[in-house]
Structure 1
Amino acid sequence: MSSFTRKFNTYLFFKLPSAWWCGVRLVELTDKHAISSVRYGWRNQNPFNSMFWAVQGMAAELTTGALVSEEIRKSGQGVSMLVLNNKANFSKKAKGRITFRCDQGDLVTETLEQVLKSGDGHTIWMTSVGRDQAGDVVSEFHFEWTLKARK
């Protein structure tokens, strides 16, 4: 884990404590992708002996949001970001360590360039896929982010 991801996880503790206490952690962040991880346990369980869907949602949203917020930070410009919609599909009980990955860094870069060039708000749909330790997909989350230049 890089020093950046350690700092980001400290940020989680202070700004998103519910995610931190449930075990959600950023594992890797590049220009192209983000990876988060969470292990099933008593803090994030549901009555059906698997991980609560909302915890999976926090880990999935973290991958998409980290890509967006890092691209905004690098631009040095004032841009607001907010989740407008989300959808999710669940295909298997989430047990053990679940890893979420979003590979849409290029889409974020393109969209942010459009926002800064035009000054208009734009939305993008981003996908984060959660896999268990065997590599099986347990859930897939889709988030519609809205980006708007601050004036």
Structure 2
Amino acid sequence: MAFKEFQQTANHRFKFGLFMLYKLPSAFFCGVRLRSISEKAAVVSVPFKWLSQNPFRSIYFACQAMAAEMSTGVLALGHIHGRKPAVSMLVTSIKAEFVKKATERIYFTCEDGETMQQCIASAIASGEGKTFTATSTGRTKGGEVVSTFTVEWSFKAKAHAVNQ
């Protein structure tokens, strides 16, 4: 139920756009946008434009990283939304592999929502921090792989909430 509530807000372009402008201004101005979200997967895109390019006329690696991290992070946010006890989340590692020059809009997809949800449930049940490695693959509109990112997240039930 809580995920559906988060999903409704995330799919509202204006509300989520304000959230990004306030919390993730760099991603907002570079054009990083949430395209779809479900309990299982999320898709985030980044365009090739002046604010996202590097001197080599392709999408700057940091802009790709923002989109890749967001595709994993928005799933995490959805799965911790409304949890009792509250759960903290933090990126602990990020790795990337660049396969092809990114010269058009790239779509980053993370399909690890179900296993991420299990990890979060385990962190709540144990009261201990748990790590989860999510994969986000960046593809062109035609489906050609441009880059792959692995983002390691740490989840932990907030201490003050566990003791209540």
Whether TM-score is above 0.5 comes out as yes
**TM-score, normalised by the number of residues in structure 2:** 0.88
The residue type equivalent to 1:144 in the other structure is E
Aligned identity (percent) is 44
In 1, the alpha carbon distance for the partners of 2:110 and 2:85 equals 23
* Matched-pair contact (CA < 8 Å) for 1:33–1:103: yes
In 2, the alpha carbon distance for the partners of 1:49 and 1:83 equals 29
Runs of 4+ off more than 2 Å:
2-5, 7-10, 74-77
The match for 2:78 among 62, 70, 85 is 70
CA distance 1:149–1:13, shift in 2 (3 Å): same
* Matched-pair contact (CA < 8 Å) for 1:9–1:26: no
Give, in angstroms, the shift of residue 3 of structure 1. Answer: 5.8
* Matched-pair contact (CA < 8 Å) for 1:125–1:143: yes
**Count of residue pairs the alignment pairs up:** 150
Name the structure 2 match of 1:116: 124
The match for 1:104 among 108, 112, 116 is 112
- Higher mean alpha-carbon deviation, 5-14 vs 125-134, is at 5-14
In 1, the alpha carbon distance for the partners of 2:153 and 2:125 equals 18
Give, in angstroms, the shift of residue 76 of structure 1. Answer: 4.1
1:5-84 equivalent positions in 2, closer than 5 A? 5=11, 6=13, 7-84=15-92
In 2, the alpha carbon distance for the partners of 1:65 and 1:100 equals 12
Provide structure 2 residue ranges, at least 5 long, that are not aligned to the other structure.
1-7, 160-164
The residue type equivalent to 2:113 in the other structure is G
Provide structure 1 residue ranges, at least 5 long, that are not aligned to the other structure.
none
